[in-house]
Chain A
Amino acid sequence: MKKRKYALFLALLLALSTFLAACGGGNGGGGDKAGGNGKEDNKKELKVNIKTEPFSMHPGLANDSTSGSVLRNTFEGLTRINKDDKPENAAAEKVDVSEDGKVYTFTIRDHKWSNGDPVTAQDFEYAWKWALDPKNQSQYAYQLYYLKNGQAANEGKAKIEDVGVKAKDEKTLEVTLENPTPYFLELTAFYTYLPVNSKVAQKNPNWYKNAGEDYVSNGPYVMDQWEHSDKIVLKKNDQYWDKDTVKLDKIDMLMINDVNTELSMFKKGELDWAGSPFSALPTDAMESLKADKTLNIKPIAGVYWYKFNTEAEPLNNVNIRKALAYVIDRKSIVEKISKGGQIPAMAAVPPSMFEENEKGYFKDHDVKTAKEYLEKGLKELGLKDASELPEITISYNTDEAHQKIAQAIQDTWKKELGVKTKLGNEEWAVYIEKLHSGDYMVGRMGWLGDFNDPINFLELFREKKGGNNDTNWENPEFKKLLVDSQKEMDPAKRSQMLKDAEKIFVDEMPVAPIYFYTNSWVQRDNLKDVVMSGLGDVQLKWAHFE
């Protein structure tokens, strides 16, 4: 009988003690972690958060910035964007360009894959052709359409063998382009242009699905561990040609989806970096981060804009479009909503490419001019008052930040112009389909440059039926300028042509630019030489702790 009593006592004790032990254990663990961070000298391990599982670790399949963040540090392309934001030779030792700008001959540097195989010209040829081969379903194959026959091969209209990339010998790669492409050496630093070890890939078609012996790369780091949806661990690549430059031994790339959690972990020392470009900072935290001076902000090549469907009433009227665009209070949006130091955009091409675009083509929140345009537009439509305009639907994909901006713009349009609007939001996949099929009136969109050239921000409006135009707008003069610019070898002249094109674009206002993107982040003070390009990508090759 006594035993029973003990049993109860023991059971309760057990329950309690596990609980207490749990708390106690936590104390120790937490304490250790907090103490060991950031302060010690010569720290050689970096912890960042890449937010989500990357789409694919195959350079030819990757189609998202998360994959790019990893690949940029594990692979070495023909060129690499250096600290001054210019492409410099990397896997290529020497580049020769033909007179007409259409043939590039790369001499491959003497260097090795992480498994010791030499990196050859064939590895590049293999990788590019693999990505263009329609049976491999690369969603980013269009990045390679600059190659001769690239698009045709990808669409099954030409043979893969006819694509303009050829390994003349182990060390010589000859690339033939469709058109002279003044920014081609920027492109060769992009991840779709990275090489793949053809020997390994041919032996094991699944080489890229997990970390391990077959996941070989030729960059500053190699992938050591890949716990899907949990973390990727990179370690220094001993075979890297420039390994003396690499200071970090290990990089932990965690995948934590919640940005608040991420920031808390940073504050507690469990991460060395929080925010862009790997992830984002919670908007609610911005003010406090600004106040304690820990927030870093850098403008990047990207623009947030509102597209007008130029075939929908009343947006088919250019003056109405201009009225709506001019009246938007970008400064308030940037300061009160997005809060990341974004730059109000009154132009299409980011200031990192056209410096004068910091000012733009018109004044922000220009209520007076907007009202004039509105009057003019209403007259043309035969209406007396803005209240007679058809109700305009502002669409955005479901997201807190987009929603707030849409609400603010809705408010301004109503208050300043008396234009009636309603909001509609959809999930991303649905939203993008509606936009692409022209089933919208006004819709938000963000556009980020893939490479450092203004053409990125204009090209999509070249043709009405272009996949990403969405506005149903086109202009023969604009189109001609773009087409001609592609053949222009003189950089200054070419730049002028693109500026002229932009002017036409802003004058017709098929989109209302809102702001130019910035990267905003917090980092450990002693973390140095993390190189962020004008596009906003980060390279960790040179990173180190002081």
Chain B
Amino acid sequence: MIKYFGKRFFYMFLSLLVIITATFFLMRLAPGNPFTSEKQLPPEIEANLNAHYGLDQPWYVQYFDYLKRIATWDFGPSFKYKGQTVNDIISEGFPVSLALGIEAIFIALALGVLLGVLAALYHNKWQDYSSMIFAVVGISVPSFIMAALLQYIFAIKLQVLPVARWDSFAHTILPALALATTPLAFIARLTRSSMLEVLSNDYIKTAKAKGLSRGVITVKHAVRNAMMPVVSYLGPLSAGIITGSFVIEKIFGIPGLGSHFVTSIQNRDYTVIMGVTVFYSILLLLSIFIVDIIYGLIDPRIKLRAHKKGA
């Protein structure tokens, strides 16, 4: 067990190092510099700025400086917003994104599982077909289109929800729904197929034969076991939620980390792009790691061992 953890950690660390190195050098390669503006700066001031941000140092000094700083959880200053550090930006934006993400995951899980179970229980009946049509539509519509449509219908045409921003609970509904759509559809499909598989198992037949009610069978035996693929989907799910949030937060004007990331791409605010990428990568690696552990905990058949990754 410990050996397994150690090994996983080591690989996570290596992945992270690759990410940091890649982002660092790619950003060095990026043309243009953060201080270019319409009205050109006097060269003296530009030199001054470069010196201040350490951009006049040779690349290897900058690289190791950057590694050192990341090791101490310091992502450096923002070029675009004077006096703000990337850490400030993350600590202000992330809680918002997290709240949005959790709400979306909750909706996706609750409705996705519900739809999937219904579809499986009423296999080949209208419940099944309508849930699956819903799921296919959810998978087929790009999130920015979904978000714009929801905003248009519910906020502008029907006027029942606020258009944008992140103030009251009402403000969170549309963005969370838009963010949840795709994962919801995935979860519904996953749940349905694994439910179908589980329901055809002998132990379910045995349970039926024992005279257990449909509800008991569903909850106690089927759903629980059918949840395994859904749990393993949680890793990719969090990745999807993070990248989805870029689009959703921009459209709904939510001051989360995702909209920051998009703005920093447009501004070419390199330190923010790098910092946020590294931060998200750490987050994702950790979440996949945690999902693996949860997976091991709920499925006794799986033992966490180092060579699990095999086939």
Interface residues of A (CB under 8 A from B): 1, 4-5, 7-9, 12, 14-16, 18-19, 22-23, 25-31, 33-34, 52-56, 58, 61, 63, 134-135, 137-139, 141-142, 151, 154-156, 206, 208-209, 227-231, 254-258, 261-262, 264-265, 267-268, 270, 426-433, 436, 445-447, 467-468
The answer to whether A26 and B161 have CB atoms under 8 Å apart is yes
When chains A and B are docked, how far (Å) is the Cα of A239 from the Cα of B150? 46
Residues of chain B within 8 A of A30, CB atoms compared: 155, 159-162, 170
With A429-B33, A430-B31, A433-B33 as contacts: A55 and B160 at CB distance below 8 Å = no
B253 and A256 within 8 A (CB): yes
Closest Cβ–Cβ distance, residue B41 to chain A (whole Å): 6
Given known pairs A5-B215, A25-B170, A134-B48, the reply for A227 and B255 (CB within 8 Å) is: yes
- Chain B residues with Cβ below 8 Å from A142 are 39, 41-42
Contact between A229 and B89, CB atoms less than 8 A apart: yes
Chain B proximity of A469: nearest CB distance (Å): 9
Stretch at the interface among B56-64, B78-86, B195-203, B279-287: B78-86
Contact with A along B8-36 (1 / 0, CB 8 A): 00000000000000000000000111111
Verify B253–A257 contact, CB threshold 8 A: yes
The answer to whether the Cβ of B67 comes within 8 Å of any Cβ in the partner chain is no
Are A137 and B48 in contact, CB atoms less than 8 angstroms apart? yes
Q: A25-B169, A258-B250, A267-B156 are in contact. List 6 more A-B contacts (CB 8 A).
A: A55-B81, A141-B45, A255-B255, A428-B32, A430-B31, A432-B37
Q: Are A427 and B42 in contact (CB under 8 A)?
A: no
The distance in angstroms between the C-alpha atoms of A10 and B251, with both chains bound, is 35
With A26-B170, A257-B250, A268-B159 already in contact, the answer to whether A5 and B216 are too (CB < 8 A) is yes
**Which residues from B are CB-within-8-Å of A55?**
80-82
Asked if B288 is an interface residue, CB under 8 A from chain A, the answer is no
> B106-114, B131-139, B186-194, B228-236: which lies at the A interface?
B106-114
Q: Do B220 and A4 have beta carbons less than 8 Å apart?
A: yes
Q: How far is the CA of A489 from the CA of B124 in the complex (A)?
A: 90
Contact A29 B38 (CB under 8 A): no
Q: How many A-B contacts are there with CB distance less than 8 Å?
A: 201
Cβ of B292 under 8 Å from chain A: no
Interface centre among B93, B164, B166, B220 (most CB of A within 10 A): B164
CB distance from A36 to the nearest CB of B (A): 12
Note all chain A residues with C-beta closer than 8 A to B38: 432, 445-447, 468
Give the A-binding residues of B (Cβ under 8 A): 31-42, 44-45, 48-49, 52, 80-84, 88-89, 92-93, 106-107, 110-111, 114, 151, 154-156, 159-166, 168-171, 173, 212-213, 215-216, 218-220, 223, 250-253, 255, 259-260, 262-263, 268
Task: Provide a sorted-by-A list of 16 A–B residue pairs whose CB atoms are within 8 angstroms.
Answer: A15-B114, A26-B154, A30-B155, A33-B162, A53-B81, A55-B80, A56-B82, A139-B37, A142-B41, A227-B92, A228-B81, A255-B253, A268-B163, A427-B32, A436-B40, A445-B38
Closest B residue, CB atoms, query A31: B160
Known contacts: A22-B173, A137-B45, A428-B268. The answer to whether A58 contacts B107 by CB under 8 A is no
Q: Please pick, from A33, A155, A228, the residue contacting B44 in the complex, using a CB distance under 8 A.
A: A155
- Establish whether residues B160 and A26, one from each chain, have CB atoms under 8 Å apart when the complex forms: yes
**Which listed residue, B36, B44, B151, B223, touches A432 by the CB 8 Å rule?**
B36
Establish whether residues A29 and B170, one from each chain, have CB atoms under 8 Å apart when the complex forms.
yes
| CB nearest neighbor in A for B106 | A18
Q: Are B40 and A468 in contact, CB atoms less than 8 angstroms apart?
A: yes
Whether the pair B37, A229 counts as a contact (CB closer than 8 A) is no
CB pair B259 A257 closer than 8 Å: yes
B110 touches A15 (CB 8 A): yes
**Which listed residue (A1, A61, A228) contacts B216, Cβ 8 A?**
A1
Q: Across the interface, name the chain A residue whose C-beta is closest to B212.
A: A1
Residue of B nearest to A9 (CB): B215
Which chain A residue shows the least CB distance to B171?
Answer: A29
Q: How far is the CA of A190 from the CA of B170 in the complex (A)?
A: 41
Nearest CB on A from B75, distance (A): 15
A137/B49 in contact, CB under 8 A: yes
Residue of B nearest to A467 (CB): B40
How far does the alpha carbon of A61 sit from the alpha carbon of B132 in the complex, in Å? 56
Instruction: Tell me which residues across on chain A come within 8 A of B161, comparing CB atoms.
Output: 26-27, 29-30
